[in-house]
Chains A and B, each alone.
Chain A
Amino acid sequence: MKFVGFSLLGKVLVEMDKDEYNSLKIKAASVGLGVEELLLLALSKIQDFNIKRKEDIRKRLQLLRNKLEELSQPSMAISSKLAALRFKYFSTYSECASQSIVLSAMEAEYRSLCFALGLEYDSTGAEKVKSLLEKYHPGLKR
């Protein structure tokens, strides 16, 4: 690949063979660019280029790759733990929601039996059942 000068219209001419073009196309695509965009950016950097800068960039790149690796592992771990916990919570919550309805019916039965038998009804449990119904069925109208 080489810079061959300027066309009559003042355009920059870069010459390359097909293999070079294809390889450049892949490289450019890997960073979200087209071949022309990549060449234009590279040409605009020609004069700023120096070996030290190249080394600095390589070091920075390696540093960032390592940092990403360090962050990715805990992120994947917490993400899968979170998914498992969400599922577990959803299942426990659903069980509480359905069983609190069953319990509420049993509590009502207990109350009416106490009433029918003329026994004192201990409402301590009923208060808790009421609060559970409110918690697991917030929209429930009673």
Chain B
Amino acid sequence: MKISLVVDKNTRSKLTHDVEVNRYLADAIEQVIYEREIEELERRISTLELELPRMRAEYSRLSVLQREAEEDLRWINERQAHLSLKNKELLSMLGGKKK
């Protein structure tokens, strides 16, 4: 099968000069693929390089919030236990007074 391609003047003039097209065509194709892969890798690396510090910062921010929430919950539980006893005690005092 033959593939016909419309090329620009510059490429056309390169091909009509003394370049051994067939000797280099496979390598040139490989080069294009490598270069495209390099572009993609550079893009992914740069995204990761931006994301990593952002995720680390988010992790330490959330760790602080988590510690605070745990402390709050501990305090809430202790206070609930304290008030539960206290309210029972006061309720019985109130019951006694009413009698």
Contact = CB atoms under 8 A, between A and B. Distances in A.
Contacts, number: 214
A130 interface: no
A60 B38 CA distance: 8
B38 to A, nearest CB: 6
Contacts of B14: 43-44, 46-47
A57 B87 contact: no
A79 B37 contact: no
A49 B27 CA distance: 8
Chain B interface residue number, banded: 35 or more
Contacts of A136: 72
Given A42-B28, A46-B28, A12 B33 contact: no
Interface string B1-31: 1111111101110111101011011111111
B52 A96 contact: no
Interface in A79-109: 79, 81-82, 85-86, 88-89, 92-93, 95-96, 99-100, 102-103, 106-107, 109
Interface of B: 1-8, 10-12, 14-17, 19, 21-22, 24-38, 40-42, 44-45, 48-49, 51-52, 55-56, 58-59, 62-63, 65-66, 69-70, 72-73, 75-77, 79-80, 83-84, 86-87, 90-91, 93-94, 97
Interface of A: 1-4, 6-7, 10-18, 21, 24, 27-28, 30-33, 35-36, 38-47, 49, 53-54, 57-58, 60-61, 64-65, 67-68, 71-72, 74-75, 78-79, 81-82, 85-86, 88-89, 92-93, 95-96, 99-100, 102-103, 106-107, 109-110, 113-114, 116-117, 119, 125, 128-129, 132, 135-136
